[in-house]
Structure 1
Amino acid sequence: MNTPLSNVGRKIRFTKMHGAGNDFIVLNGIEQDLSNISQTQWQSLAHRQFGVGADQILLVEKATRPDADFRYRIFNADGGEVEQCGNGSRCFVRYVLDHGLSTKNPLRVEVAHTVLTLHSRPDGQVEVNMGAPIFEHSHIPFNAAGLASVQEFQETLYALPLNYPAMHDSFVGVLSMGNPHAVQVVGNLESAPVLQEGPEIEEHPAFPKRVNAGYMQIMNRNEIELRVYERGAGETLACGTGACAAVVSGIRRDLLDSPVKVHTRGGDLQIAWDGIANNVAKPVIMTGPAVTVFEGETEIK
């Protein structure tokens, strides 16, 4: 039984991991007390100059529902808790297996709104059933009132009024992979205004819980390059749910065919999606790396 500790000078053990360059601090909340940690303290832990440094912090906890093996919680670098992280889910299963917390493979892990199935493969890659994409606006959430729209094959693109670099509309496909995404196609990814336009899209009033802004360049029907400005983290080297959202949007626009190799700045992911059958969206399957960097102990002040 854990003894409650003060937040002043609390020492915690951690593992630093990454999935295609998207880096994480992974904490075992089963074998150590992680209660009563504030948003400011999470933010300090993720700070790259004054803390351990990470895009997100991942918590391994006991399951709260009978159909799951573990509970998985995610905190962004700004200290706010979010619903889902695809690259983090691969690191989660690698951590659980490597630390002997379970011998099950695959694992079923509960996140904010669903249960994910995670499978560690013999080649070192991790395959994740990310669940079905969500298109219903109230569940994303997304408010399209007053926005112009165009139809492109099966996808409705919405015009987001933006100020950068001058008043213009950015046409995006909108969906959720457990967290909200606004995806647009660009001709040249390197010159895309990710760092300038991304923060404005993230905070756009059409998204009451903010949004991840994705920019994809189509290489061919089975290959894209992708950059994502993540909600609460800024641009990251990779975004697993962003890769899933981009591929789903591209397939619905008849620009891509499953499976799709997604090149991010931190590495490659493979995304497979079989579309919608009988008005039911099929789950998205993501495969990619999960790597342990180092382990350590730090103090939360």
Structure 2
Amino acid sequence: MSTALTVPFTKGHGTGNDFVIVPDVDGSLSLSDEQVAALCDRRFGIGGDGILRVVRSRELPEGAATPDAEWFMDYRNADGSAAEMCGNGIRVFARYLVDSGLVDLPDDATLLVGTRAGTKSLTRSEDGFEVDLGLWRAETDEVTVRARGLDIPRPGQGIDVGNPHVVVALSSADELDGLDLTVQPRLTPEPPAGANIEFVVPADPLVDDGVGAVTMRVFERGVGETLSCGTGVAATALAVRLWAGERSPERWRVDVPGGRLGVRITHHEDGEHVLLSGPAVLVYSGQVTLA
């Protein structure tokens, strides 16, 4: 006989990239892939692009904890699969911690959050929070992307910002608008763990007052097209910066269907870090019962 499980939740989003936030401070909750998918179902559940389980790092199994961060963001995609990192999700995670009173974050303080991609640091920003995604890497392997609405496969630039992305440059806003992302784009060769795929059109002019500008749509692995993808926004800015050459700016604004996010690149002893900033909103809270 199955047992019903009632759990509290909060719904939140970052530029329309939405999440079901489930508090589990003592690490006692285990959600199956099917339960995650049911919570994220937009017709029969709460609806979301993924789940953020809020758990203390010390409550995780040995080897999974992040000792330098009290809190761990257990992020799962809408299909239940685990993901390394989520740039919009971690800002919403920070908003939940602050607004629920689990942490105190003064304007000049830093919040450390554990993820499967390591510990990330967040600070407050003018429009919400800024997260240091850490080191990034441009992939050198050639990859092509086939998508419905494109006449021929296009070359893609692999970018790793703690999770994998492939960025594709398009020629115009009309070409971007004409994409049908209800069908999953295909990568050749297909990465073993898949990748998020970003389609981008640079602004004209590309740089205004020292800030680069682009427009983007994204297909997220395990989800589909979303209104925004934080790490995808960072990967997009990095790819366009790479294409633009050595004199390209280190600050970018990226417009997505759900709004606008900021990206900046900083230099450290261990290399270049990419930072993502933008809003994080909590919408409502409640309880839900799962089989």
Q: TM-score, normalised by structure 2?
A: 0.85
Question: What CA deviation, in whole Å up to 9, does each residue of 1:76-128 have, x standing for no partner?
Answer: 1111111110000100111001111111442111111311001124x451111
Tell me which amino acid in the other structure corresponds to 2:258: G
Query: What is the aligned partner in structure 1 of residue 287 from structure 2?
Result: 297
Match of 1:82, SS state, is coil
- Measured at CA, do residues 129 and 7 of structure 1 come closer, stay the same or move farther in structure 2, by a change above 3 Å? farther
Match of 2:25, SS state, is coil
Once the two structures are aligned, what percentage of the paired residues are identical?
30
Q: Is the 8 A contact 1:198 1:229 kept in 2?
A: no
Matched positions, count? 272
Question: What CA deviation, in whole Å up to 9, does each residue of 1:181-236 have, x standing for no partner?
Answer: 000111224533543596133x6543110111101111122111111111111111
Match of 2:244, SS state, is coil
Does residue 283 (structure 1) correspond to residue 287 (structure 2)? The answer is no
Mapping of residues 113-124 of structure 1, within 5 Å? 113-121=117-125, 123-124=126-127
Tell me which amino acid in the other structure corresponds to 2:259: G
174-183 or 266-275, which moves further after superposition? 266-275
CA distance in 1 between partners of 2:172 and 2:151 (Å): 21
CA distance in 1 between partners of 2:138 and 2:197 (Å): 16
Mapping of residues 24-39 of structure 1, within 5 Å? 24-30=19-25, 33-35=28-30, 37-39=31-33
CA distance in 2 between partners of 1:251 and 1:29 (Å): 40
Mapping of residues 1-301 of structure 1, within 5 Å? 8-30=3-25, 33-35=28-30, 37-63=31-57, 64-104=65-105, 105-121=109-125, 123-135=126-138, 144=141, 158-160=142-144, 162=146, 164=148, 168-192=152-176, 194-196=179-181, 199-201=184-186, 204-219=188-203, 220-221=206-207, 222-254=212-244, 256-274=248-266, 281-301=271-291
Match of 1:168, SS state, is coil
**Dislocated runs of 4+, deviation >6 Å:** none
CA distance in 1 between partners of 2:263 and 2:281 (Å): 19
Question: What CA deviation, in whole Å up to 9, does each residue of 1:242-269 have, x standing for no partner?
Answer: 0000011111111652211111111110
Q: Is the 8 A contact 2:264 2:275 kept in 1?
A: yes
Query: What is the aligned partner in structure 2 of residue 141 from structure 1?
Result: none
Which structure carries more strand by proportion?
2
CA RMSD of aligned residues (A): 2.4
CA distance in 2 between partners of 1:210 and 1:10 (Å): 32
CA distance in 2 between partners of 1:92 and 1:18 (Å): 10
Give the gaps of 5 or more residues in structure 2.
58-64
CA distance in 2 between partners of 1:225 and 1:208 (Å): 28
Tell me which amino acid in the other structure corresponds to 1:270: G
